Structure 1
Amino acid sequence: MDFVAIDFETANAQRASACSLALTVVKNNQVTDQLYSLLNPHTYFDQRNIRIHGITADDIQEAPTLAELWPHIASFFQADKLVAAHNARFDCSVLQKSLQAFDLPPAQFAVIDSLQTSRRLLKGFENYRLNTVCQNLNIKLEHHHNALDDSLACANILLWQAKHFGQENLLPFIKTPQ
């Protein structure tokens, strides 16, 4: 499998408030690269979000905006690429809303959601949150809600599922660009 697992953390409840981003690149069923960056969303930080991920407005003062980082990562988000996320609806929405906030065109790419694959392929878990799935599969998740650790965990969930259920059983979960 070749894909990039992504994870965003947000400054507040608005989807266009990405304050950190991580990419974990998988080629030939191996993690080959990772990228982590704080992001300056040019918006306020809600205390609830800070309690979840620990990122504050002070932390991102020198961080790039998504628009500044985009030229370096846009190649991962093209129609012929597969992007993975645990709860992809959230992460893909954060990406698209953040691009829109900076007047950048929407990205078009195929998506696979490890939350959905886990719900369908793994039975009997208490819930299918990232940390619960990792715990049940014995996948290391050092700091939940750290975007880099979360993107690596997502990648490892999909690699575990490919190994135990076969890549062909993951194909129906891939949503192609519209």
Structure 2
Amino acid sequence: MNIPTAAEILEALSLAQPRPTSETPRDSRGIYGLFDHSGVFRYIGSTSSANETFYKRIHQRHRTGSETTSHYFSRMYNTGRMWRLRNDPATKLDGDIAKALRNTFIARNCGAVCFPLPDHAPIARLEAEVIAMAPSHMVAWNRNGMEAYEEPTRLVDALIEDLGMSPFERAAIRRQRTRFYGNAPAVETPGPIQTLPTGPFKFFAIDVETANNDRGSICQLGLACVRPDDTIETWVTLVDPQTDCWTFTGLHGISGEMVRGAPTISTILEDIDGLLSGQTVYQHSGFDRSAVRAACSSLGRPEPAWNWRDSVGVARRAWPELSGNGGHGLAALKAHLGLQFEHHDAGEDARAAAQVVLLSERKRA
């Protein structure tokens, strides 16, 4: 078989129609091109290694590999809600959810073209020659020539809806977007309990999610810590309720597998009690206090001495017009006040309750 010239390979790549990464050849290797989500040719590479096919290199490495190496799809779409900080134990759970979203985004919205070559072809040399003669837009990603894209918001929104991502997953990728743009992160990890924020604080808001109808089966707990300048630092953790009954997974998206290795509620309460003892702690309705009380009862320990308040009562006094017109639940207040949060995620709901209190204070001022 005659070996084609670099010019012939470049022309063939330029004229080929990109296909999804999952359709790249599994039994051949050679030179290939990668296309971004807008259909523009951006990168030229090769499967110069004898044991690497197009499929392995493109679908299994460029798409799902490390964001910090030469896996260019992963690098270029490590952005916004698809962003992950590799090997960061404090954000691993959120990061894994963001990475899975990114992998699916690339599979659905990006593409590749391939030019197979025989094993005896000088693939590495031909690749260098093709890159040298390619127009700049076709090698824009080569040698880290471009920064990661801004998040393609419309496409990501559509994908999230199509995947039916749970409140827990949506909250995780919202936190990743917050971290990507440099705001203070919220901790979310199933590992050992993370360091709590340090004060001073004006007040706190708390929210819990449970595994089932047993109010003591707390599987996620979130704290919104409100500083004197009204900024909010959110701390959220998964909790292992040590149950096999997961009735509410469809509501919040948390499962028994997710909480494996997470701290128990006994450990959580011991840790946060030092921060919250004697402090004002808001809940939105009476559920959260009753859940903490039920958990304490099952542990044979007294309920913590926190100064409980109810942000529902605060909302009723601040916005009486909502009575009989949607009510004062978080979902109704979200629409009325323009709040941005994922309902049925403990960290997001705690933050929303704190925002309700702060907005009511501003309304009275």
TM-score interval w.r.t. the shorter chain?
0.7 to 0.9
1:120 alignment partner, SS class: helix
* Cα pair 1:35 1:148 within 8 Å, conserved: yes
Match of 2:279 among 58, 73, 81: 81
* Cα pair 1:45 1:56 within 8 Å, conserved: no
Counterpart position of 1:95: 292
Counterpart position of 1:174: none
- In 2, Cα distance between the equivalents of 1:14 and 1:61? 19
Match of 1:65 among 255, 264, 272: 264
* Cα pair 1:29 1:159 within 8 Å, conserved: no
Question: Considering only CA atoms, is the larger Rg found in Structure 1 or Structure 2?
Answer: 2
In the TM superposition, 1:1-178 aligns within 5 A as 2-47=202-247, 49-78=248-277, 80-87=278-285, 89-125=286-322, 126-141=326-341, 143-166=342-365
- In 1, Cα distance between the equivalents of 2:340 and 2:229? 17
Structure of higher RCO (CA pairs closer than 8 Å, 6+ residues apart): 1
Higher relative strand content: 1
* Cα pair 1:12 1:44 within 8 Å, conserved: no
Change (3 A) 1:129 1:32: closer
Change (3 A) 1:18 1:145: same
Q: Give the gaps of 5 or more residues in structure 2.
A: 1-200
More deviation, 15-24/119-128: 119-128
* Cα pair 1:6 1:85 within 8 Å, conserved: yes
Q: Give the gaps of 5 or more residues in structure 1.
A: 167-178
Q: Percent identity?
A: 27
2:220 alignment partner, SS class: strand
* Cα pair 2:246 2:256 within 8 Å, conserved: no
- In 1, Cα distance between the equivalents of 2:347 and 2:204? 12
- In 1, Cα distance between the equivalents of 2:229 and 2:292? 25
Figure out how many residues of one structure are paired with residues of the other and give that number.
Answer: 162
CA deviation after TM superposition for structure 1 residue 76, in Å: 3.2
- In 2, Cα distance between the equivalents of 1:34 and 1:102? 26
The residue type equivalent to 2:266 in the other structure is A
The residue type equivalent to 2:300 in the other structure is D
- In 2, Cα distance between the equivalents of 1:32 and 1:154? 11
The residue type equivalent to 2:353 in the other structure is C
Q: What value does the CA root-mean-square deviation take over the aligned residues?
A: 1.6
CA deviation after TM superposition for structure 1 residue 138, in Å: 1.5
* Cα pair 2:281 2:306 within 8 Å, conserved: yes
